[in-house]
A and B are shown apart, each in its own frame.
Chain A
């Protein structure tokens, strides 16, 4: 029987929640296949979730319990921390013996790191950063953001080989109520040399956490966030004055401002910064990249100021203000008080 394989994402010995999104994506693919391929006598692919670990049993059982899907605990002796070397080799050994149609991983720092190499190892097609799973009469195809998130590109893999897909986190909603009966858990041992960590060309030393004091961002009702559209470091002063208009506010920023050293990392909103959900988020000169949106999409009300009327941020906004952000804030600060 053919399989739709999901590579669970494990970080520091724990299952990361994006794993449930991958299962949702796999179910969507399975549903489309059952809808479109009504070929009698042919089996539909089944979903199997793979958990790599040196001791996969507890993780595998937990995933099986949560999803009701079949789980393979991939036991790698000596495996401690993720490296692409170990993943590509061991997952390659395992999956080569299977007949998958689809292999799903998360489009995260981990999935992006091993998926392209694993695809080549398996002679598979490879499509990264998927935000929609679709189909037409020819079969499945996938959409992925391109051109600074201004467009979605539709991509179809060759039908005659498996396809490795990485799914954008936060897009596919985990369906918790769809729990099946607890299915089979298999533990398979695959070695990467005699000791996985020693044999790897990549030696993990330690996992570090960048200190970030983000309580101000987390606690604020209103976040005024600056992007590259503020043009100069000095203009951040104006952003602060804008934020000071509100009683409970904090200043956020897009990543490039932090990278350029204009503002501290503790202000960065996004997937590699802080995830926030204030009552109001005012995006000032921010284009709306998927990595930034992922950090503020649960905001109650999003207000955007951008001089480009087609900026992607406007698709994620409740109030859209097309204007030069500096001019706009000046106008706001000099409003005659209507009281």
Chain B
């Protein structure tokens, strides 16, 4: 069984998107708990689309235990459409016939949550988003999961493989990279690709970013001034006035 995990670098520190770390952890957990129950051994590949600095999270993924790493090297850009990313990742996914593709429910920076379900459509695979539980061990042609909905509801699903799942936080606790993996990670080769390697002509986004704004205030917000003790005293008298303390 072959698993692909799509990961993204986010934030000023250039770390792995938190939700993708949960997806990778889940893939590694499946590998460890289904190796004996599946007809063939389980492998976990990762792919990322991002600037050259994204190598950092590929090394981290190797450190956690990923087998192969693909890197679609993109320009450093403020806005990359989920649509374009989904096509790039799908092109890599098509090269190997994966049984399971996992990614985070959304990225912490763009917060769109579109890449996973778009990949599923491009690859013509079934898709479930916000997966909070996967039932192990895997045995064959289907996968049993629970998808999270609002207000504590969950949707139990049995999905035909191959499939795309987007993973919600709370499903597991991502492991730290281990030292022995980290050492071999540095020797591991990253398979780098450019979008020219993947497409005849560039994939064009269907929308563009035209600016950024500070969100407006929903409430007036009186800012308490002074030392920490002053602020504590002010809060105390405010609550006392309201008869709450």
Contact = CB atoms under 8 A, between A and B. Distances in A.
Interface of A: 11, 81-85, 88, 108-110, 112-117, 119-121, 124-129, 131, 141, 143-158, 161, 163, 200-212, 221-222, 245-247, 255-256, 258-260, 265, 271-275, 279-280, 293, 297, 301-303, 312, 314-324, 327-328, 331-332, 335, 338
Contacts of B229: 331, 335
Contact of B207 (A83, A149, A157, A303): A157
Contacts of A85: 126
Nearest to B237: A338
Contacts of B144: 205
A332 B113 contact: no
Contacts of B202: none
Interface in B76-121: 79, 82-83, 108-114, 117-118, 120-121
A155 B82 CA distance: 13
Contacts of A321: 224, 231, 235
| Interface residues of A, dominant DSSP | mixed
B26 to A, nearest CB: 14
Contacts of B218: 293, 297, 315-316
Contacts, number: 248
A92 B229 CA distance: 61
B117 A84 contact: yes
A222 B244 contact: yes
A203 B157 contact: yes
A190 to B, nearest CB: 19
A207 B156 contact: yes
Interface of B: 79, 82-83, 108-114, 117-118, 120-122, 126-130, 144, 146-160, 163, 169-170, 173, 206-224, 228-229, 231-233, 235-240, 242, 244-245
B223 A146 contact: no
B215 A117 contact: no
Contacts of A312: 215
Contacts of B150: 108-109, 271-272
10 contacts: A109-B147, A110-B149, A153-B212, A205-B157, A205-B158, A280-B239, A301-B242, A318-B222, A319-B238, A320-B223
A293 B215 CA distance: 14
Contacts of B129: 84, 109, 112-113
Given A109-B149, A109-B150, A202 B221 contact: no
Nearest to A332: B232
Given A279-B244, A317-B221, 20 more contacts: A109-B147, A113-B130, A116-B114, A120-B121, A120-B122, A126-B207, A143-B213, A151-B212, A153-B209, A153-B212, A201-B163, A209-B154, A210-B152, A221-B244, A255-B169, A272-B152, A293-B218, A314-B221, A319-B224, A335-B232
B118 A113 contact: no
Contacts of B155: 81-82, 109, 204, 207-208
A319 B223 CA distance: 6
B228 A245 contact: no
B169 A318 contact: no
A204 B157 contact: yes
A113 B244 contact: no
Nearest to A205: B156
Contacts of B215: 131, 145, 149-152, 312, 315
Contacts of B159: 201-203
Contacts of A152: 212-215
A210 B231 CA distance: 39
A315 B213 contact: no
Given A116-B82, A161-B206, A275 B151 contact: yes
B235 A272 contact: no
Given A145-B111, A280-B239, A319 B222 contact: yes
A126 B112 CA distance: 10
B133 to A, nearest CB: 10
Contacts of B220: 318
Contacts of A108: 149-150
A154 B212 contact: yes
A144 B107 CA distance: 14
B210 A155 contact: yes
Contact of A109 (B110, B130, B228): B130
A94 B121 CA distance: 18
Of A146, A221, A247, the most chain B CB neighbours within 10 A belong to A146
A156 B158 contact: no
Contact of B232 (A126, A203, A280, A331): A331
A245 B245 contact: yes
Contacts of B83: 120, 125-126
